[in-house]
Amino acid sequence: MDFHDSPAEAAFRAEVRGWLADHLTAEYAALGGVGGEADETGWDVRREWERLLGAHGWVGLSWPKDHGGRAASFAEQVIFQEEYARANAPARVSFFGEGLFAPTLIQFGTDEQKRRYLPKIQSVDELWCQGFSEPNAGSDLANVQTRAVLDGDEWVINGQKVWTTLAHRADWCFVVTRTVEGSQGHKGLSFLLVDMHQPGIEIRPLRQMTGSAEFNEVFFDGARTPADHVLGPVGEGWSVAMATLGFERGTAFLSRQLAFQREMQDLIDAAQKNGAARDPLLRNKLAGHYVGVKIMQYNGQRMLTQMSRTGAVGPEASIGKLYWSTWHRAFGETAVQVLGTDGLTIRNDAPYELDALHLTFMGSRAETIYAGASEIQRNIIGERVLGLPREPR
C-alpha cells in the first residue's frame, strides 16, 4: 500500500504537467472546466484542443504502441486525468470514440480494423456514437429489434435507436443489431460499425429535461455498411456490447470523480458566499457529500490496483457506477437547496438555459439510468459479485 508516485510515475506526471502548462493557453484555457461528454458548450474550440492533444499522443494513452498509443498503465492514466483536472483543461469531445469504442476495438477488432479506425479517433477526425438502446430495449438491452440483413457484400439495416448521445456530431456509430433471423435475447446479435453520413440514416433530436438536446433518436431505413464492418464474430455481438458497457462502467469514468471534486469545491464556495454554509444541517450535508466524493477516489484507486493485477474490468465496476451516479444525484439535490430562493430562478427561460448547479441537479437524473440503470447494477452486483440466485424467467 503506497499512494506516492514511483520515480517513473513522478516523471510521467511532470511530463503531463509541463505539456499542459505549455499548450493550455488563450482560447483553450478560457474554456477551462466547461462542458462534459454530453454538453456541447464550446464544442468547436474543444474539438480543436482535442486535435492538439491527439497530435501529441495524449489521445489513446492506453492503446498499444503499435496502434499509436503510449501503452500507459492504469496508474499513468490516472495521473494524466489528475493533471488534466488540476490544469482545468476543457472537457473532452471523444468520449464515445476514445473512451468506449476504442478499448472495445482493441479487444475484439482485427488488425485491419484497428488500423482503419484508431488513427482517426486519435486525430479526432472521426467522432463516434453508441447505438445500443431502443424504444423496447432499455434495461432489457438484449431485446434489440433493429435488424441487419446481408445483401451481397453489404449489411442493410432497419430499425430505431434512441437516447443516442451526440449522434448529430458523430461520423460513425457502433450499432447492436439482430443479424440472425428469428433469434431472441442475447443470441443472434452483431456489433456493426456504420457510417452516419448516408441517406438511410435520419437523426431527430430529443429535447431533455435540461432544455437542451444532446441526445437523439436515430432511424435506420435501409442504411448500409460493408459486410466486414462488424466487430467480433457475426451473431456474437452481445459479448462485444457487454465489454463496451464494462469500459463505460469502469475505466471511462476515471476522470469523472475529479470533475466531481471540482463541483464539490464550487458548491462549498457558493455555500460560503451565500451563507448556507453557516446552517448546521447544510454543513452536515455538504460534509457528507465530501465524504462521498473522496471515497469515490479511494474506491477508484482500489479498483485500479485490482485491474492492474488482473488486467480486466470485473463485475465490481458496477459498484463504482452505482456509487458515483447515486452520489451525483444526491449532490445535485443539495446544490439547489444551497442556492435557496436563488435556486427558483435560472439564467434564461427562453430558451431554457441553466447554470452549472441546476445542470447538475437535472443532468444527474440521467446518470442513474444510462450505462445500466441502478437497478440493473444492483442485479449485477447481487448475481455476479455476491453469487445470489437469478430471478426465475
Partner 1 sequence: MNFAFSDEQEELRRIIRQFLEAKSPSSEVRRLMETTEGYDSAVWSQMAEQLGLQSLTIPEEYGGQGYSFVELGIALEEMGRVLLCAPYFSTVVLATNAILNAGNDAEKKALLPGIAAGETIAALAFTEPNGKWDAAGITLEATNKGGEWVLDGTKSFVIDGHTANLIVVVARVAGTSNTDGIALFTVAGDAAGLTRTPLATMDQTRKQAKLDFAGVKATPLGEPGQGFAAFSKTLDQAAVALANEMIGGAQCVLDMSVEYAKVRVQFGRPIGSFQAIKHKCADMLLEVESGKSAAYYAAWCAAEDNDELPVVAALAKAYISDAYFHCAAENIQIHGGIGFTWEHDAHLYFKRAKSSEIYLGDATYHRELLAQRIGI
Interface residue with partner 1, options 304, 317, 335, 338 (CB under 8 A): 304
Note whether 33 and 88 are within 8 A (CB).
yes
Total site size for partner 1, rule CB under 8 A: 49
90 vs 372, beta carbon nearer partner 1? 372
Least distance to partner 1 from the beta carbon of 246, Å? 17
Interface residue with partner 1, options 222, 242, 288, 312 (CB under 8 A): 288
Instruction: For residue 266, give the nearest of 49, 17, 34, 91 by alpha carbon.
Output: 34
Instruction: For residue 265, give the nearest of 99, 95, 24, 86 by alpha carbon.
Output: 86
Interface residue with partner 1, options 187, 207, 302, 347 (CB under 8 A): 302
HEC string of 123-137 equals CCCCCEEEECCECCE
Least distance to partner 1 from the beta carbon of 340, Å? 16
Cell of 246: 464494462
Instruction: For residue 37, give the nearest of 322, 351, 254 by alpha carbon.
Output: 254
19 vs 290, beta carbon nearer partner 1? 290
Least distance to partner 1 from the beta carbon of 75, Å? 5
139 binds partner 1 (CB under 8 A): no
295 binds partner 1 (CB under 8 A): yes
Q: How far apart are CA 198 and CA 223, in angstroms?
A: 7
25 binds partner 1 (CB under 8 A): no
41 vs 306, beta carbon nearer partner 1? 306
Note whether 367 and 328 are within 8 A (CB).
yes
298 binds partner 1 (CB under 8 A): yes
128 φ, ψ (degrees, to nearest 5): -120, 160
- Sequence letter at residue 384: R
- Expressed in angstroms, the distance from the first to the final Cα of the chain is 44
Q: What is the dihedral of CA 44, 46, 47, 52, to 10 degrees?
A: 130
309 binds partner 1 (CB under 8 A): yes
Q: Which of residues 257-286 bind partner 1 (CB under 8 A)?
A: 268, 271-272, 277, 280, 283-284, 286
Least distance to partner 1 from the beta carbon of 180, Å? 30
Q: How far apart are CA 107 and CA 63, in angstroms?
A: 10
Note whether 24 and 89 are within 8 A (CB).
yes
Interface residue with partner 1, options 41, 113, 123, 379 (CB under 8 A): 379
Asked about 248 being catalytic, the answer comes back as: yes
3 binds partner 1 (CB under 8 A): yes
24 φ, ψ (degrees, to nearest 5): -85, 85
Q: How far apart are CA 332 and CA 324, in angstroms?
A: 12
Residue with grid cell 457502433, as numbered in its chain: 174
Compose the 314-333 pattern: x for residues touching partner 1 by CB under 8 A, - for all others.
Answer: --x--x--xx----------
Cell of 189: 446479435
Given 98, 214, 236, 248, the catalytic residue: 248
Q: How far apart are CA 266 and CA 264, in angstroms?
A: 5
Task: Choose the stretch contacting partner 1; rule: CB under 8 A; options: 4-12, 52-60, 87-95, 201-209.
Answer: 4-12
- Residue 271, CA distances (Å) to 100, 198, 258, 282 in order: 36, 50, 20, 9
Q: Which of residues 76-105 bind partner 1 (CB under 8 A)?
A: 78
Q: How far apart are CA 27 and CA 24, in angstroms?
A: 8
142 vs 270, beta carbon nearer partner 1? 270
381 binds partner 1 (CB under 8 A): yes
393 binds partner 1 (CB under 8 A): no
180 vs 277, beta carbon nearer partner 1? 277
Task: Choose the stretch contacting partner 1; rule: CB under 8 A; options: 90-98, 232-240, 333-341, 375-383.
Answer: 375-383
Catalytic residues: 248
Binding positions for partner 1, rule: CB under 8 A: 1-5, 9, 75, 78, 268, 271-272, 277, 280, 283-284, 286-288, 290-291, 294-295, 298-299, 301-302, 304-306, 309, 316, 319, 322-323, 375, 377-379, 381-383, 385-392
